[in-house]
Every structure is written in C-alpha cells, then in structure tokens.
Amino acid sequence: MSGYGKEETAKLRSNVEDQLARLLQQLQDCEDLKDDLDEDEYESTKQDTLNQLREFEQSLQKMIAGDITLVNDLGGMRLAIQGAVSQAFRTPEVIKMFANKQPAQLRLRLEQKKEDLKLKRITQESYMAQVVEILTALKKLGEELNAEEEEFLKKNMSQQLAQFEAASSGDT
C-alpha cells in the first residue's frame, strides 16, 4: 500500500472513530438528561440516536466489504454499535470503553460497581446487570476472566447478552 493509501486509511479510521464517539456521546447525553426530558422527548431522542447508530453500522458494513485493511478496526467498532443498538450494552460508558478497546478502564469500572454495591449506592439488580455488561465487554476484548468472573457471567447472562455474544462471534 502506498503512503497515500495509508494516510487515507488513517484519516478514514479517524473519521469513523470520531463519528462513533459523537454518537456514543449523544447516547450518553440522552441518558444523563433523562430526568430533564419528558418521556416522549427522551424516547424520541434515544430512538433517533439508535437509528443513526444503525445507519452508521450499515456504512461500516459497506466499508468492511470494500477495504480489507480496515476490517479489524471497523469490525470492533461495528460490534460496539451492535451492542448499543441491540441494547445488550445499556451503559454508554461501557459501550465507549469497549469501542475504544479500554480493558483497564472496564476493570476499574468493575471495581467501582463492587464498591457501589458494598456502600449500597446501587441495588443488587443494577449491580448484576452492570457487572454482566462489563464482563461481557472484557470477554469480547479477549481479556482473561478469572473463574469467579466466568461463573458470575454464566450464571447471570441474560438472553439478550447471550444473543449479542453469539452474534458478535459470528454464530448467527
């Protein structure tokens, strides 16, 4: 590949990453402002963002089909989008960390959730849902889970996350 092609690929990758970051931030903003919006406004904004993510995923599919050099990077971003759109990942921060391949930050978030539960800042149900989400993201990033984490994930993984796991592994 010529220098020009590498530059173009780098620029395209950067633009794709920026677009994904913008859409994920928009989704995060929607969640952050949920209490300030009426229910219709919240649902409409969230659905608009999810529709934009779906369109973005379709664009990535076309790019992946046409440019082998971007397959790995764009494929990872596509998985993050699938997670957001299927709502297997419900937390925009986790989606963002997954898309940006940040296992250390995901591990830190996992520890924060354990602390939140211990201090009763979150419910057991919320804790379980968020930990399953984080562990699934870590697993998809190729991170080793210890036996306790594997058991927790196996025991608590919802059907929706199981479907995302299968879809992102190409099993569907």
Q: What is the pTM for the complete model shown? A: 0.51
More confident residue, 109 or 27: 109
Chain segment 90-106, per-residue pLDDT in tens: 677 887 887 788 899 99
pLDDT on residue 2: 47
Q: What share of the chain is helix, strand, coil (3-state, %, to 5)?
A: 80, 0, 20
Chain segment 112-127, per-residue pLDDT in tens: 999 999 999 999 888 9
Chain segment 8-20, per-residue pLDDT in tens: 677 777 888 888 8
Give the whole-angstrom CA distance, residue 72 versus residue 69: 8
